[in-house]
Structure 1
C-alpha cells in the first residue's frame, strides 16, 4: 500500500523510551506532535542487518534532532527484548544505549496498518516512513530483509522536504543540501540545466 500524501496511522503500544523507561501507553500521534518523524520498521531484535541500521540512526541522532525530527523504531519484539538488546554491548551483538524510542508490535497491528509485513514470515520488512509535522507521509521506502537502508539519505530527504516547504523549489536527482534546486516550471528546469 502506498501511504504517500496520506495521514500516517496512529497507534498506542508499549515502548522503551530513550531514558530506558518502559511505558505501556505510548501514543504515536501525541509523542510526535509538531515534529517530523522517521518511523522505521525492522524484522527482529538480535539479528544481523538490523543492529547496523539501528546503530547508524543512533549515530546520526543529532542530525535528525537539528531538523526537529523524532526517530521511532518498531518491531514485533517485546519491550523487554528491546531492553535486553540495548543492555548488550555492541561488540557482543547488542545495540548499546539508543537515544530514541523503540516500540513493540507483538500482535503485528502496526506493521499491518503500514502494510509492511513480509508476505510469509509475519515480521516487518525494512520499511521507513518520513512523516511531516501535519502527520502526512511524505516519503516511504521498503527493502527486502537482506538489504540495509541508507540512513544518510533519510537526512537528505528531510532536507529536501523542508526546502520545498520553505521556498517552493524542487530538488533534482542526487540533490544534497546547499546544492542548486529547480523552480517548478519549464523556465526553471531550463535555468537549472544552464
Structure 2
C-alpha cells in the first residue's frame, strides 16, 4: 500500500546523531506531537545543507507550533556527526538542533516512497504527521531543487487550524492565519465567492 495523506505514518527506528551523541530514535518517541519528516539525499552535497540550515533558522518557531523535526538521509551517524562539525556548524551556530537520522540502504525511504533505487538516495520528501500519527501532507521533490520552508510553515499552521476547529473549518488557497476560512456545508455550496477574499 502506498503512503499518502490521511493514512497512518509507518513507525521506524533509526540510529542518528542528536545532541552531540549517537542514539536510536523512533517515530513513536514523538507520539502526541506534530512531526515534520524531512528526507534529503545526502550529507556533504549542495542543496541539502541550505535546506537543513533554513529549517534550523525557523526551528524555534516550529517548536512553538509543537512541531518536532526529523531529518533523514542514507548517511551513517558518524558522517552526520562530522558534517555537523565541519560544515553545518559554520552555517548556523551549533549546527542543526534536530536529529539527523541514518536510513542505511533507504529502508525507511522505501516505506515512505521517496527512495530512488537508481541513485541509492532518498529524494526530498516532506511529511507532516499529526499528534494521532496520521500524515496530513506529503511532498516529494527531485534532488536539484530545495524546499520552501515558508510554505511548509504556512501549511503546518493551516492543518493545525483545521484540527483545532474539529474539522469544522477548512483553509482555502493562500490561507494565512487571520484570513478567512471556509465552513463546508450546503449553505456554502456555490457561494464560496461571497466569503473568500483571495486579495
Do they fold alike, i.e. is TM over 0.5? yes
**Unaligned segments of structure 1, at least 5 residues:** none
1:192 is aligned, of 183, 195, 198, to 195
Structure 1 match to 2:177: 177
- Select between 58-67 and 85-94 the one with higher mean Cα deviation: 85-94
SS at match of 1:164: helix
Within 2, Cα distance between the matches of 1:12 and 1:90?
24
Q: Runs of at least 4 residues of structure 1 off by over 6 A?
A: 91-95
Deviations 1:19-60 (A, max 9, x none): 11111x32221x212100000100010000000100011000
Structure 1 match to 2:27: 28
Q: CA deviation at 1:185?
A: 2.8
Within 2, Cα distance between the matches of 1:32 and 1:39?
12
**Unaligned segments of structure 2, at least 5 residues:** none
Q: CA deviation at 1:75?
A: 0.2
SS at match of 1:63: helix
Q: Is the Cα contact below 8 Å between 1:3 and 1:137 reproduced in 2?
A: yes
Within 2, Cα distance between the matches of 1:174 and 1:42?
26
Structure 1 match to 2:13: 12
Structure 2 match to 1:75: 73
Q: CA deviation at 1:190?
A: 4.3
SS at match of 2:15: strand
Give the TM-score taking structure 2 as reference length.
0.89
Q: CA deviation at 1:148?
A: 0.6
Give the TM-score taking structure 1 as reference length.
0.91
Q: CA deviation at 1:103?
A: 0.5
Q: What is the correspondence of 1:86-165 to structure 2 with a 5 Å cutoff?
A: 86-90=84-88, 97-165=95-163
Q: Is the Cα contact below 8 Å between 1:85 and 1:95 reproduced in 2?
A: no
